[in-house]
Chain A
Amino acid sequence: SAVISQKPSRDICQRGTSLTIQCQVDSQVTMMFWYRQQPGQSLTLIATANQGSEATYESGFVIDKFPISRPNLTFSTLTVSNMSPEDSSIYLCSVTGTQDSGANVLTFGAGSRLTVL
């Protein structure tokens, strides 16, 4: 399965600032997703990162708050803009592979733990 590197692994940020999280995959993948895991809660899908076009956002998430880039098949970024303490969460990058290499399994990065003061 793909190996995903996320950075930063954790950060402490001030209210009103923005932070960009990077996700690098060691192989080309079909689908890339960004999830949020708030403290003590399950995973919520933020958006699907589409290569070469605008991301597809889930209900409750908007591009102005969570801009996403995906310039190629191995890299994506998620920015958390104008942060507030409610944005304190773990942000997880995840991917599914190509058709012949585990397309049905979602593989996760280790996550980026964000604390907003």
Chain B
Amino acid sequence: AQSVAQPEDQVNVAEGNPLTVKCTYSVSGNPYLFWYVQYPNRGLQFLLKYITGDNLVKGSYGFEAEFNKSQTSFHLKKPSALVSDSALYFCAVRLYNFNKFYFGSGTKLNVKP
């Protein structure tokens, strides 16, 4: 069965510091990996994706993520956090030949001034 794990319910970081939101996955095949962000009372917004190629992908708002096949991970990173980055972040995976997306449980990011 396919699954996505986000081991941290919440991540706290000070503004200006680097941030990491963790994601690991388990799929029986080649994965497509995604990060989404959800601001309060809003729908999910696409941040970035890994399909193939360079393991380091860059996305919106200065976020990036690194695909690590051996560790089956796709951690979200940003060099310098902003207070406005505070939101709920979801990792998702789908198989290359299948349209169903599997979402992690979400990680709440709190960036303190």
Q: Could you tell me which A residues sit within 8 Å of B by CB distance?
A: 1, 4, 31, 33, 41-43, 45, 48, 92, 94, 96, 104-111, 113
The docked-state distance in angstroms from the alpha carbon of A1 to that of B36 is 14
Q: Are A104 and B49 in contact (CB under 8 A)?
A: yes
Q: Which residues of A contact B44 (CB under 8 A)?
A: 43, 92, 94, 108
Partner of A42, one of B34, B41, B46, B103: B103
Counting CB contacts under 8 A, is B43 at the interface?
Answer: yes
Q: Are B105 and A42 in contact (CB under 8 A)?
A: yes
Q: List 20 other contacts, CB 8 Å, given A45-B100, A94-B44, A107-B46.
A: A31-B99, A33-B101, A41-B106, A42-B90, A42-B105, A43-B90, A43-B103, A48-B99, A92-B44, A104-B49, A105-B34, A105-B46, A105-B49, A106-B34, A106-B46, A106-B101, A108-B43, A108-B44, A108-B45, A113-B41
Q: Which residues of B contact A41 (CB under 8 A)?
A: 105-106
Q: Are B104 and A42 in contact (CB under 8 A)?
A: yes
Q: Could you tell me which B residues sit within 8 Å of A by CB distance?
A: 32, 34, 36, 41-46, 49, 51, 90, 92, 94, 99-101, 103-106
Q: Which residues of A contact B42 (CB under 8 A)?
A: 110-111
The docked-state distance in angstroms from the alpha carbon of A94 to that of B45 is 11
Q: Which residues of B contact A4 (CB under 8 A)?
A: 43
Q: How far is the CB of A33 from chain B (nearest CB, A)?
A: 8
The docked-state distance in angstroms from the alpha carbon of A33 to that of B41 is 20
Q: Are B43 and A110 in contact (CB under 8 A)?
A: yes
Q: How far is the CB of B34 from chain A (nearest CB, A)?
A: 7
Q: Are B99 and A96 in contact (CB under 8 A)?
A: yes
Q: How far is the CB of B106 from chain A (nearest CB, A)?
A: 5
Q: Which residues of A contact B36 (CB under 8 A)?
A: 106, 108
Subset of 16 A-B contacts with CB under 8 Å: A41-B105, A41-B106, A42-B104, A42-B106, A43-B90, A48-B99, A96-B99, A104-B49, A104-B51, A105-B46, A106-B46, A106-B92, A108-B44, A108-B45, A109-B43, A113-B41
